[in-house]
């Protein structure tokens, strides 16, 4: 059985070594990179299953790396940050991170968060395999769930992994009103104890990319729903 592979992009050698050692003891295969350029090269060569990404890197921002990774890979990202401001944490989530942890951290918490992300992804993949064998079509939208492919008027639409998961969560429960907290739990895998703007941002992007303002509906004071009667 192949080990789950984790790439650690962290410029503080002591922290990178601690993470690599601790995760290896838990049965993961790890590699480290000390800057963004090296990390992107390792992504191509190592093909990790999970990315642990430091916010502050010597050559470029971890947010820039996060944006590049989510545009090219369906890869869970745990941001490692010394920033405790809630706005910074929300920003990381909006750029595509799945979770974050603040320095100084307990290694046991890192392991727990990695396992939670992997478990959530396995559940989503199993659900998709069980329920999405057929191609989904409505209006001028076509979705191939197994390929995570979306097209509008026969033109491919590039969605980030979280945008796609959000779309599918809403579609599969057409007519159900989700609160922002519920969407964070369903799509991101945890209740986020702060501002819910990351959900609003992803909804806005979905609406813009799919011209979906009339079928991804805001329920004022509550949250969002997918219009039940979509032709």
Architecture in CATH for domain 132-226: Orthogonal Bundle (1.10)
Is 218's pLDDT higher than 60? yes
Q: What is the pLDDT of residues 43-98, one digit of tens each?
A: 999 999 999 999 889 998 888 898 888 878 878 899 888 876 666 677 777 777 88
Distance between alpha carbon 109 and the CA centroid of its chain, in Å? 19
Q: At what angle do helices 86-94 and 62-72 cross, to 10 degrees?
A: 30
Averaged over 167-187, what is the pLDDT?
89
Which is it for the CA torsion 68, 142, 207, 199, positive or negative? negative
pLDDT above 70 covers what percent of the chain?
Answer: 88
Query: According to the model, what pLDDT value does residue 194 have?
Result: 47
Is 40's pLDDT higher than 90? yes
Q: What is the CATH number of domain 5-125?
A: 3.40.50.2300
Is 195's pLDDT higher than 70? no
Query: According to the model, what pLDDT value does residue 92 have?
Result: 75
Within the chain, strands assigned E span 5-9, 29-33, 50-54, 77-81, 99-102, 136-138, 141-144, 149-152, 155-156, 178-179, 216-219, 223-226
Q: What is the pLDDT of residues 133-153, one digit of tens each?
A: 578 899 899 998 878 889 999
- Identical fold between 5-125 and 132-226: no
Where do the domains of the chain lie? 5-125, 132-226
Q: Quote the DSSP letter at residue 4.
A: P
Query: According to the model, what pLDDT value does residue 188 have?
Result: 77
Q: What residues form DSSP beta bridges with 78?
A: 52, 99
Query: According to the model, what pLDDT value does residue 192 have?
Result: 52
> 143 vs 130, which has greater pLDDT?
143
Closest among 53, 87, 93, 102 to 189, alpha carbons compared: 93
What is the pTM for the complete model shown? Answer: 0.65
């Amino acid at each position: 059985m192949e080990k789950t592979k984790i790439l650690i992009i962290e410029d503080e050698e002591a922290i990178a070594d601690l993470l690599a050692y601790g995760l290896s003891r838990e049965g993961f295969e790890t590699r480290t990179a000390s800057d963004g350029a090296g990390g992107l090269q390792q992504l191509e060569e190592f093909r990790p299953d999970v990315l642990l990404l430091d916010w502050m890197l010597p050559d470029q921002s971890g947010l820039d790396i996060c944006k590049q990774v989510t545009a090219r890979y369906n890869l869970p990202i745990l941001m490692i940050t010394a920033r405790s401001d809630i706005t910074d944490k929300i920003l990381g989530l909006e750029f595509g991170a799945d979770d974050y942890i603040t320095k100084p951290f307990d290694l046991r918490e890192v392991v727990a968060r990695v396992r939670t992300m992997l478990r959530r992804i396995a559940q989503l993949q199993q659900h998709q395999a069980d329920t999405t064998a057929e191609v989904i079509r409505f209006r001028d939208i076509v979705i191939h769930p197994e390929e995570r492919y979306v097209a509008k008027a026969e033109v491919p639409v590039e969605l980030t992994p979280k945008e796609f998961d959000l779309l599918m969560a809403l579609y599969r429960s057409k007519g159900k009103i989700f609160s922002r907290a519920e969407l964070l739990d369903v799509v991101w895998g945890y209740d986020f104890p702060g501002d819910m703007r990351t959900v609003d941002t992803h909804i806005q992007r979905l609406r813009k990319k799919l011209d979906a303002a009339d079928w991804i509906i805001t329920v004022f004071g509550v949250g969002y729903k997918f219009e039940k009667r979509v032709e």
